Chain A
Amino acid sequence: MEKDSALRNVLKRKSGDLPYGFDQKLMEQILLEAEKKSRRNELRNLVLVAAVSVSMIAGALLALYHYFLFNFLKLFSGIPERLFSLGQLSDTGMAFAFYGYIALAMMVLLALDHLFRRRLKKPL
């Protein structure tokens, strides 16, 4: 492709050269950016894990407080009966809520696990 050779010539003259050590200096900048990126990711993951953990603990404490506090003494006073007669609990909704909370927590954890595994193995 040698058409317009005068124009090619002029463009070549205007190109200029890179100074000595340009690529080294640039690579240093890139490595600095890589470190910043790594620290940002670490902090973000820490905050996410902390937020999820705190919300789960808070949820567990809330469930314990609202649904089990009033039945605490009852549970301890008639343990053998209570263990084998779940159907006779005064509020079956409490049992559902308790197991429902466990199920929900498990699903959230499974979803997060799946999400993190996908992100770590994400192809181009």
Chain B
Amino acid sequence: MEHMDEKDLVKRILDGETQSFSLLLERYQRPVHSLIRQIIPCHEEAEELTQDVFVKVFTSLDKFRGDCSFSTWLWRIAYNTAITATRKKKIVFPDVDDVRLTNLPDESVDELLEKMDNEEQLKCLEKAVDQLNVEEKTLISLYYTEDKAVTEIAAILQLSPDNVKVKLFRTRKKLVILMQHGKR
């Protein structure tokens, strides 16, 4: 129903009802800003980038063919805009050895990420999240904050669903390793 409703809204906006765009803004500005903030730590930059995303969405609205949901198309624009912004800054993200990822037991990852009472541990996890690359941050934001299904995340990031599952799995392990490294 939401899928049809948004396509109808897009049609009305393209027919000249520009004010209807405010309904889409209302629906998506906070989630998009939330994703951008995960990737761009600076407040002002994140706000500016969020504005850029919606201006791009509006100016490209006539290119929306309806082959995916409007939500997927919008998130894709947000992700691509964030990628471009970070590429310009040439930030280098730390990488973790594949062997270390494989050797880390799944149970310890589950245990650590499930519950943290200690504020210090939470701050350590926060720092570890900051060290993830853009794709990894987007993956965990869409999965945990926006509660997106793996198939939708796959459509947004233009990956296969299996690839998304593997990357999520590896990202969780990477966070634990980064936390362990941060404690030393």
Contacts and interface: CB of A to CB of B under 8 A. Distances in A.
A20 to B, nearest CB: 12
B35 to A, nearest CB: 9
Contact of A6 (B46, B47, B115): B115
Given A6-B113, A11-B38, A14-B126, A124 B144 contact: no
Interface residues of B, number: 45
B25 A27 contact: yes
A19 B121 CA distance: 29
Main secondary structure on A side of the interface with B: helix
Contacts of B65: 124
Contacts of B21: 27, 30
Contacts, number: 100
Contacts of A14: 37-38, 126, 129
Size band of the interface chain A makes with B: 20 to 34
Contact of B129 (A11, A16, A25, A123): A11
A122 to B, nearest CB: 9
B55 interface: yes
A124 B15 CA distance: 11
B18 A18 contact: no
B25 A23 contact: yes
A23 B22 contact: yes
Contacts of A18: 29-30, 33, 47, 50
Contact of A15 (B10, B22, B38, B125): B38
A22 to B, nearest CB: 7
Which of A6, A11, A14, A29 has the largest count of B CB atoms less than 10 A from its CB?
Answer: A11
Interface of B: 7, 10-11, 14, 18, 21-22, 25-26, 29-30, 33-34, 37-38, 43, 46-47, 50-51, 54-55, 58-59, 64-66, 110, 112-116, 121-122, 125-126, 129, 140-141, 144-145, 147, 172, 175
Interface of A: 1, 3-16, 18-19, 22-23, 25-27, 29-31, 33-34, 37, 123-124
Q: Considering the complex of A and B, which 9 residue pairs feature the smallest CB-CB distances, nearest first? A: A6-B116, A15-B34, A4-B113, A34-B18, A16-B37, A8-B144, A124-B66, A7-B113, A10-B125
